[in-house]
Amino acid sequence: MSGPLLRVGVRFAPSARDLSAEALGKIDEAIARYPEKRSALLPALWIAQQEQGYCAPRAQEQIAQKIGVSPAFVASVVSFYTMYHTQPVGRHVIDVCTTVSCWLRGSDALVGHLEKTLGIRVGETTADGRFTLRTVECLGSCGTAPMCQIGDDYHEDLTHDRIDAVLEGLR
């Protein structure tokens, strides 16, 4: 539940990296879209995560400054939403839905298959940094269960062969 510890002034790679000028520009654009600045917080975190792979402490500080809230406030928001990562993750995050409809259609076996194939447990990242495996709650794809989300994409009506083929295509 608790957010990441913000260690101001302590430099440790890669979380101490500044957001690029391009990302900061996109955050300004997001701020301009809303009647009130703070509404741009979620979009800003998306921009940061897209660039750095997760919502790093340094990025959170920069966002806090832009939006005009404290870094602690940003951290409290980050920790509330499951899609924001507070730690570096694999290049491809596999989110397997395990809620009722997917469970009825074999999500347990799918998770077991992925753990075996990738050699990791749920919540872990492969040693080569390629995949992170997570289980998540309902993704709104119950009619095409079981399924998972990898990055932006839904992979539906999954069999073990089909998920193997999907993973094969992801470097």
Partner 1 sequence: MGALKEKVLTLNVSHADQPAIDAAMKRGVWSRLPKALSMGPDALIEEIKKSGLRGRGGAGFPAGVKWSFMPKQPVKPSYLVVNADESEPGTFKDRLLMERDPHLCLEGFLLGAWAIRASAVFIYIRGEFVAGWKALDRAIAEARSKGFIGKNVLKSGWDVDVILHRGAGAYICGEETALMESLEGKRGYPRLKPPFPAAHGVYGNPTTINNVETLACVPHIVERGAEWFASIGREKNTGPKLYCLSGHVKRPGVYEAELGVPFETLFEEMGGGLLDPSRRLQAVIPGGSSAAVMTPAECAGLTMDFDSLAAKGSLLGSAGVMIMDDSVCMVRACERVLKFYAHESCGQCTPCRIGADWIHRIVARIEAGGGTPEDPGTLMSVCDGMVGKTICVFADAAAIPAKSFVTKFRDAFDEHIMRRACPLLLAPAGARG
Name the residues that contact partner 1, by CB under 8 A: 1, 33-36, 38-43, 45-46, 67, 69, 76-77, 80-84, 95, 98-101, 103-105, 136-145, 149, 152-154
Structure tokens at 115: 């753990």
Of 70 and 119, the one with the shorter C-beta distance to partner 1 is: 70
Q: Which is nearer to partner 1, 84 or 131 (CB)?
A: 84
> Which of residues 122 and 142 has its CB atom nearest to partner 1 in the complex?
142
Q: Output the smallest distance, CB 144 to partner 1, in A.
A: 7
Instruction: For the CB of residue 104, give the shortest distance to partner 1 in the complex, in Å.
Output: 4
Tokens read off for 35: 């009647």
The least distance separating partner 1 from the CB of residue 89, rounded to whole angstroms, comes to 14
Q: How many CB atoms lie within 10 A of CB 51?
A: 17
Closer by beta carbon to partner 1, 124 or else 156: 156
DSSP state, residue 137: S
Structure tokens at 58: 């340094």
How far is Cα 82 from Cα 50, in angstroms, rounded to an integer? 15
Q: Considering only CA atoms, which of 44, 48, 55, 60 is closest in space to residue 20?
A: 48
